[in-house]
Amino acid sequence: MMKYQNQKNGGLESSDNESEDNSSPPKILPPQRNQINKCDTCKKRIISGGVQNFDEDELTIQCGHCHKWYHNACENLENFEKVHIQVYHCLKCVTTVGASIKKPIVAEHRYKYWKESEIDKNFQVGTKPWTDKFSRIHFPEFSALKVYSDGNEMNKEFNFDQDWTEPMKIKNKAGLGLEVPENLDIKRILQIVGRDELIQVIDVYLQRTITMSMGAFYDRWNAENRERLYNMLSFEFSHTKLVFTF
């Protein structure tokens, strides 16, 4: 996959000669292949090791202190949190040994930010330093952009018999035949679908697609100081109550 990098001085460059493994499991010793364990909370069987296609409720993690296994859901642990944990402490052990240990940030400009071997490598696209620099760049107005006040104006002026060769911006949806509920914002969506609805987001600094609950996304959307940047590209809601608002 093509990655855009920049040198340490911040200049953007294109590079496709480096592959990245986005996997980042907690640093715990895995059990023997196909060893049968039980979730210490729900007592249901966990088959660890081997290759399995887990549903969200079947994803598991091992406590780095008591070494017992748990379903993520039984520990109220979401995937977007799990990828940043170095040593996990279960809810029982937290009271005695403290919170889980997060991966240290030693190379913020790299996807594998916790590895010292990444410190002297080039900046990677999407990481926090790269994103901060990119947001400060001023881009000139795109001269080829065609702007219409609304769909009615576009329908009158656009030649539908010719090729569409330039991008357009339509400021108002009137005349486009689009149906969008009034006063629909992220708070209203949360009220309709509920906090537990799972969505696909991109952990921007990690450049990795992962699951997150709508409630967790809403909390981070409204947070004054955001520790990480999450991007929800789309939301399939045909299975939710939101579909009845149209």
Instruction: Give which of 53, 86, 94, 47 is closest to 69, Cα–Cα.
Output: 47
Per-residue pLDDT reduced to its tens digit, 216-228: 999 999 998 999 9
The per-residue pLDDT for 51 is 38
**Which one of 178, 200, 225 terminates a domain?**
178
Q: Looking at residue 74, which CATH number applies to its domain?
A: 3.30.40.10
Residue 150, sorted as left (phi over 0), alpha (psi -120 to 50) or beta, turns out to be: beta
200 and 172, same structural domain? no
Residues 129/108, Cβ–Cβ less than 8 Å: yes
Considering the domain architecture, whether residues 213 and 168 belong to the same structural domain is answered as no
Same domain, 48 and 81: yes
Classify residue 20: in a domain, yes or no. no
> Is 62 domain-assigned?
yes
**In this structure, are 39 and 92 located in the same domain?**
yes
Range(s) of the domain holding residue 71 = 35-102
Using pLDDT thresholds of 50, 70 and 90, give the confidence band for residue 55. low
The pLDDT of residue 32 is 52
Q: What is the number of alpha carbons within 13 Å of residue 13 lying toward its C-beta?
A: 13
What was the pLDDT predicted at 117?
98
Q: What mean pLDDT do residues 167-189 have?
A: 89
Residues 174 and 204 in one domain: no
Q: What pLDDT is recorded for position 165?
A: 85
Burial of 222 per CB tally in 10 Å (0-12, 13-18, 19+): exposed
**What is the predicted pLDDT for the residue at 108?**
97
Last residue of a domain, one of 52, 72, 102: 102
User: Rounded to whole angstroms, how far apart are CA atoms 211 and 223?
Assistant: 19
- What's the confidence (pLDDT) of residue 45? 86
Q: Give residue-wise pLDDT tens across range 1-33.
A: 434 444 444 433 333 334 444 444 444 455 455
**Position with higher pLDDT, 139 vs 127:** 127
Domain count, the chain: 3
Characterize the bridge pairing of strands 45-48 and 35-38. antiparallel
Q: Is residue 90 part of a domain?
A: yes
Is residue 76 situated within a structural domain? yes
| DSSP sequence for 43-109 | --EEEESS-----GGG-EEE-TTT--EEETGGGT--HHHHTTEEE---HHHHHHH-SPEEPP-S-TT
Are 167 and 209 members of one domain? no
User: How does the average pLDDT of the chain come out, rounded?
Assistant: 83
- pLDDT > 70: percent of the chain: 80
198 and 159 together in one domain: no
Q: Are residues 171 and 192 in the same domain?
A: no
